[in-house]
Amino acid sequence: MTIAQPSAFSARSCRAVLPDSRLPNLLLHRDQVQRILVIKLRHFGDVLLITPLLGTLRANYPNALIDVLVYDGTEAMLAGNRDVYLAYTVDRSLKRQGCKAQYRGEKALWNSLRTGHYDLVINLSDQWRAALYCRFLKPTFSLGFGYPKRNNRLWQACHSLLVPVVGHNQQHTVLNNLDILTPLALPALITTVTQAYRQCDIDEIDRLSQRHHLTDFVLIQPTARWAFKTWSVAGFTQVINHLTVSGETVVLTGGRTADEIAMIAAILVGCTLPQRVVNLVGRLDLPELAVLIDRAKLFIGVDSVPMHMAAALQTPSVVLFGPSNLQQWSPWQAPHTLLWAGDYRSLPQPDEVDTNTPERYLDAIPIDDVIRAVDHQLVSQATSA
């Protein structure tokens, strides 16, 4: 069991002493930079964890408009984020709609991006699509990562400069993202993850809170994108029963997939005080979930985007973790207790995990240990109040 509190930035700095000599003159005069594009074609949590990079760009390029290019749907992680000017999205569903639909969609996206006339494009992705945008949008300068699997002339030719990824498996994803800025030698470095939300999200949660009389509650998100990251139904049921018998109100959240809805339903079957459990599975958009997490006294969950949201919002958390890389994906600079399945059983290496495996690695974490961690967090809050 690991108990962590917010810590000061102490990992290696991503700033160089002097700017890279290959930088164009424009980037040496930061107040003259007008447009920046950041590309991150990954999942929801990955997009959230680029917000320190976006904040760093905003702090150092005060006159620039910062756009992002992300996968369709993941832009929800940036809703209300004031560092972002425009969010462009790649619609992956076009591949299933035929060649004509895909061509029209790709052309529309390309034409929109061309209007940016970017001074700087930052590619945080390893897809060829992202590299080709760096090449054919013809920005003044572009930065990418020198991924080992892209160690070829074409990848190099698509970027003005590549930044090494040596050591990235040994430090947090936030710092890995910031590493790409090394050649720019920026004087201000932001390491805080920003989970933003809008007034409309607040209004919706206010309505739900009034309807369900939510004022003081523990939020539990048992589900994750991949089932191998989840804990047992019986485990969550017993934790909920422990909380409700102690007088706590529990809010259950989850996504809209059939598997997530089914898991929550199975958990609820064993709840002995269902009147103290509010089931909001499938009811919330991600920015609305952010508001609810922000208001919770405690978050309990697994390695998933809501875990990263709770960390960004500084909501105390109990996190159950499996075979993902702890150095890269643990809650960032936030109060939490982390229970790692690797302390109870052997785990495969992170890059060797079959995401479709039926094995549930987190089931090795004892229910009593989770309950002790939950009680510890609640007592800590009560004594510090």
Cα–Cα distance between 260 and 174 in angstroms, integer?
Answer: 28
pLDDT of residue 12: 47
How far is the CA of 302 from the CAs of 156, 242, 306, 310, 368, in angstroms? 38, 18, 8, 11, 17
Q: Taking the CA atoms of 167, 170, 173 and 178 in sequence, report the sign of the dihedral they define.
A: negative
The CB density around residue 222, as the number of other CB atoms within 10 Å, is 27
- Parallel, antiparallel or unpaired: strands 35-40 and 141-145: unpaired
HSE toward the beta carbon, residue 323, CA cutoff 13 A: 20
d(CA 281, CA 341): 26
A 10 A CB-CB count for 19 gives 15
Q: What pLDDT is recorded for position 217? A: 98
110: which 2 tokens?
């390309």
Superfamily, domain 199-384: Glycogen Phosphorylase B; (3.40.50.2000)
Alpha helices in the chain (DSSP H): 25-28, 44-48, 51-60, 99-114, 128-136, 153-157, 173-179, 199-212, 233-245, 258-269, 286-295, 305-312, 326-329, 367-384
**Would you list the DSSP string of 29-78?**
SGGG--EEEEEE-S-HHHHHTTHHHHHHHHHH-TT-EEEEEEETTGGGGG
Averaged over successive runs of 10 residues, the pLDDT of the chain (385 residues) comes to 48 62 94 98 97 98 98 97 98 84 90 97 97 96 97 96 96 98 96 98 98 96 95 98 98 96 97 98 97 98 98 98 96 97 96 92 98 96 78
**pLDDT (0 to 100) of residue 97:** 85
CATH architecture of structural domain 7-184: 3-Layer(aba) Sandwich (3.40)
Residue 92: per-residue pLDDT: 85
Helix (H, G, I), strand (E, B) or coil at 133: helix
Q: Do 119 and 34 contact (CB within 8 A), yes or no? A: yes
Q: What was the pLDDT predicted at 256? A: 94
Query: Domain segments of the chain: what residues?
Result: 7-184, 199-384
Whether 7-184 and 199-384 share one fold: the answer is yes
With b for 16 or more beta-carbon neighbours within 10 A and e for fewer, the 325-337 pattern comes to ebbbbbbbbbbbb
Whole-number pLDDT of residue 383: 82
pLDDT of 192 = 98
- Residue 14: its pLDDT value, please? 46
What is the rounded CA–CA span in Å between residue 22 and residue 24? 6
